[in-house]
């Protein structure tokens, strides 16, 4: 059987103190990637990644570029390994996927990630929100219950795997939805420790800010398709990729659909590049037969 390799990249939440430090110290290609970061970002992110606390890393303006850098350091550390036949990234990870596919240069991708992080942090500070993981309910029930919460914003934000949906919105909206979803049969409803209501209408100001930067950036023809968050479908057209990236901030991450479509299109070898192993676990829940591996 021909090996069809899909590289996948995690999003915000995968960070941890000391991230990428070992890669920096042991792999020349990874070190080269990481050494460019401070000048592009304008602050010493490597010091925060290597020596910062969990609290330091939880700031959105730090978290997003840190996860991106760790992911790309792992990807280039595999430079003698097989190239991707397809790529995808969870939320923020979509920028890592675009860099891995050669659609964006590493420097341009990092600049966009930095702008995205700052815009999202500003939106979070202006309109407080939160997110919660809902376990044990089908997608349609979660959507229906959220739609019935009155006078608040609460929507399905991440379709992570079958029976695992993350909701997002105002603090009161998410709390009310959690109570209603437990009443509808959810096994668990867990409010997450996040900075705001990502992938909800509350991110519209951030999307407007990011739109200007994305439209001004240089997007090239990549070496393979990217399966995008907003619809789970493969794409190689730069105009469409840009539109989907902008829409991503206020739209749900359709991760289940992404993996199902990748498998349907022949993917039989998944490699996760980035901190942690969350995506490997989600992929196995979506498709028990999938072969999943860590990058290093």
| Three state DSSP letters for the chain | CCCCEEEEECCCCCCCCCCCHHHHHHCHHHHHHHHCHHHHHCCCHHHHHHHCCHHHHHCHHHHHHHHHHHHHHHHHHCCCCCCCCEEEECCCHHHHHHHHCCCCCHHHHHHHHHHHHHHHHHHHHHCCCEEEEEECCCHHHHHHHHHCCCCCCEEEEEEEECCEEEEEECHHHHHHHHHHHHHCCCCEEEECCCCCCCCCHHHHHHHHHHHHHHHHCCCCCCCCCEECCCCCCEECCHHHHHHHHHHHCCCCECHHHHHHHHHHCCCCEEEECCCCCHHHHHHHHHCCCCCEEECC
Neighbours of 111 (CB within 10 A): 17
Query: 130-191: same fold as 5-125+201-294?
Result: no
Say which of 71, 90, 168, 199 is annotated catalytic.
199
Q: What is the mean pLDDT of residues 165-182?
A: 98
pLDDT in tens, 132-153: 999 999 999 999 999 999 999 9
Right CATH number for 5-125+201-294 from 3.40.50.150, 3.40.50.10860, 2.60.40.1180, 3.40.366.10? 3.40.366.10
In 3D, which of 237, 242, 277, 279 has the Cα closest to residue 258? 279
Domain ranges within the chain, ordered by starting residue? 5-125+201-294, 130-191
pLDDT in tens, 80-94: 678 899 999 999 999
Say which of 71, 91, 168, 251 is annotated catalytic.
91
Q: How far apart are CA 199 and CA 278, in angstroms?
A: 19
Number of residues written out for the chain: 296
pLDDT above 90 for 292: no
pLDDT above 70 for 125: yes
Neighbours of 131 (CB within 10 A): 24
Q: Is 199 a catalytic residue?
A: yes
Q: What is the mean pLDDT of residues 13-40?
A: 95
Q: Which residue has the tokens 């749900």?
A: 252
Q: What is the mean pLDDT of residues 157-184?
A: 97
pLDDT in tens, 272-285: 999 999 999 999 99
Q: Are 295 and 272 in contact (CB under 8 A)?
A: yes
Q: How far apart are CA 66 and CA 48, in angstroms?
A: 9
pLDDT above 70 for 260: yes
What token pair was written down for 201?
Answer: 């209408």
Residue 288 exposed, middle or buried by CB count within 10 Å (0-12, 13-18, 19+): exposed
**Percent of the chain scoring above 70 in pLDDT:** 99
Q: Is 269 a catalytic residue?
A: no
Reply yes or no on domain 130-191 having CATH 1.20.1600.10.
no
Q: What is the model's pLDDT at position 80? A: 67
pTM over 0.85: yes
pLDDT above 90 for 296: no
């Amino acid at each position: 059987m021909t090996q069809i390799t899909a590289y996948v990249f995690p999003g915000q939440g995968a960070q941890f103190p000391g991230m990428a430090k070992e890669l920096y110290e042991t792999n020349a290609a990874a070190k080269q990637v990481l050494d460019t970061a401070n000048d592009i970002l304008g602050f010493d992110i490597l010091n925060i990644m290597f020596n910062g606390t969990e609290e330091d890393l939880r700031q959105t303006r730090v978290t997003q570029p840190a996860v991106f850098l760790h992911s790309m350091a792992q990807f280039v550390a595999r430079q003698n390994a097989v190239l991707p036949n397809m790529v995808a990234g969870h939320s923020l990870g979509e920028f890592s996927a675009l860099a891995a596919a050669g659609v964006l240069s590493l420097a341009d991708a990092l600049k966009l990630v930095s702008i995205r992080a700052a815009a999202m942090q500003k939106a979070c500070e202006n309109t407080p929100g939160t997110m919660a993981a809902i376990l044990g309910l089908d997608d349609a029930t979660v959507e229906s219950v959220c739609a019935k919460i009155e006078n608040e914003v609460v929507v399905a934000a991440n379709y992570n795997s079958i029976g695992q949906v993350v909701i997002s919105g105002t603090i009161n909206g998410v709390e009310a939805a959690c109570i209603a979803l437990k009443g509808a049969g959810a096994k668990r409803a867990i409010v997450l420790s996040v900075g705001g209501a990502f992938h909800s209408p509350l991110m519209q100001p951030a999307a407007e800010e990011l739109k200007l930067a994305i439209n001004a950036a240089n997007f090239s023809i990549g070496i393979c398709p990217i399966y995008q968050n907003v619809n789970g479908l493969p794409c190689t057209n730069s105009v469409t990729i840009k539109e989907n990236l902008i829409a991503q901030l206020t739209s749900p991450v359709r991760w289940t659909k992404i993996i199902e479509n990748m498998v349907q299109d022949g993917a039989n070898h998944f490699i996760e590049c980035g901190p942690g192993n969350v995506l490997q676990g989600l992929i196995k829940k979506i498709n028990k037969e999938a072969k999943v591996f860590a990058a290093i």
